[in-house]
Amino acid sequence: MSPMLEAPRRRHSAPVYSPRMTGNAGTSSTTSADLQQRILEAQEAERSRLAREIHDGPAQALANAILQIEVVERLMARDPALAGAELRLLRDVLRRELADVRTYVSQLRPPILADLGLSGAIRDTAEQVAGILSIPITVDLDPAVDELPTAVDMAVLRIIQETLQNVRKHAHASRVTIRATLDGPDMVLDIQDDGHGFVQSDAPAGGRRAFGIQFMQERAQSIGARLEVRSRPEDGTRVRLVIPGGREETT
């Protein structure tokens, strides 16, 4: 009798995370269509947000700069010293606005995901903001973060970018931590700062912070994820994104 041969062991692929779908196979196409619709709506909301921020930020600053230059022109003849001081102030304003424009450009640069993967894109974004704010931003990511589907990693990157924008504009933080971990089949991302914090119920409905949180909520919903924002005055802010998913095996 010939010896029994051991069956080949299954090889497992790297974990792949995707939004948890509900319902049976008969409803999968409808669910997929709904997801695509939510993604399109989130993209439109993002375009509206960027248009609003560019209008209220760099565009307004450039309009003010033109007026300031006209003032400096009139001062040059009668008070060169004051004209020089005004030019230095204008230079500082334009430098700040240039930093804003560079941030917007980085948000509109999807190829970074193809070039660096999600983990690399997160680190690149963190490095840019850390350079602008001159504070440390610690990034600690589980390798599985690079296994998220394309539609999901784009949303994750946008949420992290928006969170860091809020840190830059509002938090006055001295450090920030970005962490991605696995909790069973779920991917959990935490962005924590030690800034001023805020009373969430006091955020004005039409304000920049409330608008940004709404944008992040829409992005999270578009991929079937859950977003939590927790903050208290003088106790910093924590943004948590929980992405439900499952491990897929191949033989």
- Domains (range + CATH), the chain: 29-243 (3.30.565.10)
Structure token digits, residue 143? 């390798």
Label residue 221 exposed, middle or buried (CB < 10 Å: 0-12, 13-18, 19+). middle
Q: Mean pLDDT of residues grouped by 10 in the chain (251 residues)? A: 37 35 45 63 73 76 85 89 90 84 66 84 92 92 91 88 88 93 94 87 57 84 92 91 64 32
The per-residue pLDDT for 115 is: 82
The per-residue pLDDT for 45 is: 72
How far apart CA 16 and CA 156 sit, in angstroms, is: 15
The per-residue pLDDT for 137 is: 95
The per-residue pLDDT for 191 is: 96
How far apart CA 23 and CA 140 sit, in angstroms, is: 35
Evaluate whether 120 touches 160 at the Cβ level (below 8 Å): no
Structure token digits, residue 131? 């350079």
The per-residue pLDDT for 1 is: 47
How far apart CA 178 and CA 176 sit, in angstroms, is: 7
226-231, strands of its sheet edge to edge:
137-141, 176-183, 186-193, 237-243, 226-231
How far apart CA 228 and CA 225 sit, in angstroms, is: 10
